[in-house]
Structure 1
Amino acid sequence: PKPILDKFGISVYEIERGGDVTYHGPGQITGYPIIDLRNYKKDVHWYLRQLEEVIITVLAEYNIIGKRVKDYTGVWVENEKIAAIGVAVKKWVTYHGFAFNVNPDLSHFKLINPCGITDKEVTSLEKIISCNISIEEVEDKIISAFKEVFSVNIT
């Protein structure tokens, strides 16, 4: 509910993209790639799976098994969501993207039903590996994984 979120200084914005309610805040890496899918595949589900693969590749760098869960978009570790994905596509050009939980305040997710899911929890990289981790380190790994998964050169 908006009054509770306001109390925590969390702003609410209504946007047009796939998925349901999500939270973006400190400790997350959000990536909103703008890609012309005509240069890849004109298939939004393919694109979603590629974004998931980027996160799964990054998690593997930390010896963590990230996985997809049937009927849900995003990346999971065990039964907890570590990355949310919500995209929109106009004329085969993507916008919006993913939010990867590195070290956010996980209590903020208790204020919403993340992605409309009520029976699963949210986790973070820091919680799983039980040590502090820098956003910059993870950003570098995401860029590297993105280059690999999408076969692109990012400078």
Structure 2
Amino acid sequence: MQDFTLNRSDDAMDEIWLLEHEPVFTQGQAGKAEHLLNTGDIPVVPVDRGGQVTYHGPGQLVAYVLLDMKRIGSDVRKLVSALEDSVIQTLAEYDIEAAAKKDAPGVYVQGNKICSLGLRIKKGKSFHGLALNVDMDLEPFLRINPCGYAGLAMTQIKDFVPQPDMPRVMQQWVGAFCSILGMQPSWES
């Protein structure tokens, strides 16, 4: 991801990488050791995105948005809003009412966090992105203060919709995100 971002030419196509990670805690640049409560057997990896600590694991949609900020006519705040709004639109497809918070980036349902954000902009290009909890084991979030907030409760689509389909969630989110930014997606595996 960093290599792609740092070595891409100005005419290189923007990319969105969608995946599910094996269990891992990632500690952002603002991360503090006191937010790692009891990580146990799950590795902690320092990363160069903004934000604090979060958890990634199977059943969570992780989207890395590798975009030329100038080309999409965006700044960091607009990109954060596009990420949040696209998740809110995706969740609305499942009749899940969600909202962003002005003072705490991400997406929340009934006060519980369902999606975390963390970005880095270098040479006018974005990388890192978001993590949307779809159908996963939420227990590892109890081992940290998610995003630096003690006691922050996490939720997932599965808490509202039985057996959510990850490929469908991916397609819905990409469609919403690209629509907000005026982009046309093309799919590669």
Per the normalisation by structure 1, the TM-score is 0.91
Deviation at 1:119, TM superposition (A): 3.8
Q: Matched residues in 2 for 1:58 and 1:108: separation?
A: 25
Deviation at 1:138, TM superposition (A): 0.7
Correspondence for 1:49 among 66, 81, 85: 81
> 1:98 aligns to what SS in structure 2?
strand
Query: Would you say 1:79 and 2:111 are equivalent positions?
Result: yes
Q: Among the aligned pairs, what percent are the same residue?
A: 34
Alignment of 1:34-113 (within 5 A): 34-113=66-145
Letter in 1 for 2:111: N
Q: Matched residues in 1 for 2:135 and 2:175: separation?
A: 20
Change (3 A) 1:146 1:110: same
Structure 1, gaps ≥5 residues long: none
Q: Higher strand share goes to which structure?
A: 2
Q: Matched residues in 1 for 2:74 and 2:110: separation?
A: 31
Contact kept, 8 Å, 1:42 with 1:92, in 2: the verdict is no
Higher deviation after alignment, 143-152 or 13-22 = 143-152
> 2:173 aligns to what SS in structure 1?
helix
Match of 1:14? 46
1:55-83, CA deviations, whole angstroms, 9 ceiling, x for partnerless residues?
01101111111101131000001100000
Change (3 A) 1:109 1:149: same
1:28-78, CA deviations, whole angstroms, 9 ceiling, x for partnerless residues?
000011011111335211111111011011011111111011310000011
Contact kept, 8 Å, 2:63 with 2:131, in 1: the verdict is yes
Query: Would you say 1:154 and 2:185 are equivalent positions?
Result: yes
> 2:39 aligns to what SS in structure 1?
helix
Letter in 2 for 1:87: L
Q: Matched residues in 1 for 2:154 and 2:91: separation?
A: 15
Q: Matched residues in 1 for 2:167 and 2:83: separation?
A: 19
Q: Matched residues in 1 for 2:59 and 2:90: separation?
A: 16
Structure 2, gaps ≥5 residues long: 1-32
Q: How many residues align?
A: 152
CA RMSD of aligned residues (A): 1.7
Contact kept, 8 Å, 2:83 with 2:130, in 1: the verdict is yes
* Structure with higher RCO (Cα < 8 A, 6+ apart): 1
Q: Matched residues in 1 for 2:139 and 2:104: separation?
A: 22
Match of 1:142? 173
Q: Matched residues in 2 for 1:41 and 1:154: separation?
A: 17
Contact kept, 8 Å, 1:29 with 1:135, in 2: the verdict is yes
Per the normalisation by structure 2, the TM-score is 0.76
Structure 1 runs of 4+ off > 2 angstroms?
1-7
> 2:119 aligns to what SS in structure 1?
strand
